[in-house]
Structure 1
Amino acid sequence: MEAQELYVKEGEEFKPTGKFFCTKCRMTNVSKEAAEACCVCEKCKEKPRALHKVYCDECLEKYYAKTDAEEKVKRQALFDAAEEVTDYEFVWWSEACIHDVQEILDECMYDDHKDIPEFVFATKPVKFSGFDVSKLFDDFDEESMCEDFSCEEALSGCETIEDAIRAFNEANKDRTIFWQEDTTRKVRVPKDECLEDDDDNHKPGDGNIPPLRKHGVQGIDKRF
């Protein structure tokens, strides 16, 4: 981008400040070089970019395409190494834990079978790990904003809280909190059964296709 130097008025004269600003976003920079590079794509060094981005639209599209391709290769390697199983609690598909592969087939009927995968990963339970009693007191001490403050010394009945939390942890130690993707086990999706199914029973928009029932959605983008 074009850069212009800032001037200050002293009396009747305008004197240069040695600082420059970008003529596109008007942001001030410490040097002419920095101002010229202000709204230029950091990848191609040529095309303009939006103020809140580091890449231009074209380079950003290439970046996401490359990232998606790399992710597909990594995922395929995991599928190739995973053990095929038929005994499972839930399956993982489309960033969610769902009941079984039949729900995948039902959902994909909307897209002419294009998105039906060959395999999906099974899931594994994540158990309740318990509350850390000492961390509870430490956090309270920090929030007090008083130097050398000790919750256990300043307050009475702390041992009662400790006993209650330990009992709570013991009572819930075998509880499953949510299910997450298990990349060591895969489940085959019977695509052929879907293709042979009676079209009259599965017409898009006829109300016969049940919505996905999701269990313990894990909202994490594993690419970044």
Structure 2
Amino acid sequence: MSGYTLKLDNFGQVQKEDDLSFIGGQPRIPENLDIPSCSLCGSEQTFFFQIAFPEGHSWQEFSMAVFQCTNCANEEELIPEMLDVPLKGADIPKEFLKDYQRHFRILVFRTSAAIKPRQDYQEKIMFKRWVFETTTKKDEMNKVGGQPLWLIEDEAPATYNGEISMTFLMQLGEGFEFELTENAPPQMRIGLRGDPEPSPNRYYELFLANQLYFFGTTEMTDPMVYVVTQI
């Protein structure tokens, strides 16, 4: 599978209707999909980024949009729930990939089904366009396709529901900061006393800004995503 380095086009900060891969701004998702809500507090979740998987990728013709709640903080929901078995070669139980999306949500859809950015969403993260660059480097931390670059050990799952193979989709390097728009509220976080409090930072972090690895099912009738975090 072809691999691409993910770069941010810092000069292209005005969202256009034909943008397909970007962070912030307004999500370009199909009109029949609702903006996700948090299962913990009921708030509308924040749109972080989306990727239209390029030609040569196993998920080509599909897009993935990632949302997370920034209005509440729960110590048990700061990162996606992990399986309670060794992750390398693990089988992910049926329904797990739906049930674990409580504080976040990952929408997968055919890229052609999303016509334009959703005007019913008030952007919180500043828009920046993703640029795909073909690379043969093996040390790129932000990339789509190819092989994952693990921070510690290989934790790639093998199957979903005992029969559907999992494939590596992309990864995002640790410490990634999502810069906020002027009027965006601060992200809620767990303070030193263990209570939720507003962050003083003018950026959001996705899953504590850990190194993120996204794996997807190879069966695309009902595509699912599993997120592994490392630090």
Shorter-chain TM range is: under 0.3
Q: Which has the higher helix share?
A: 1
Structure index of larger Rg: 1
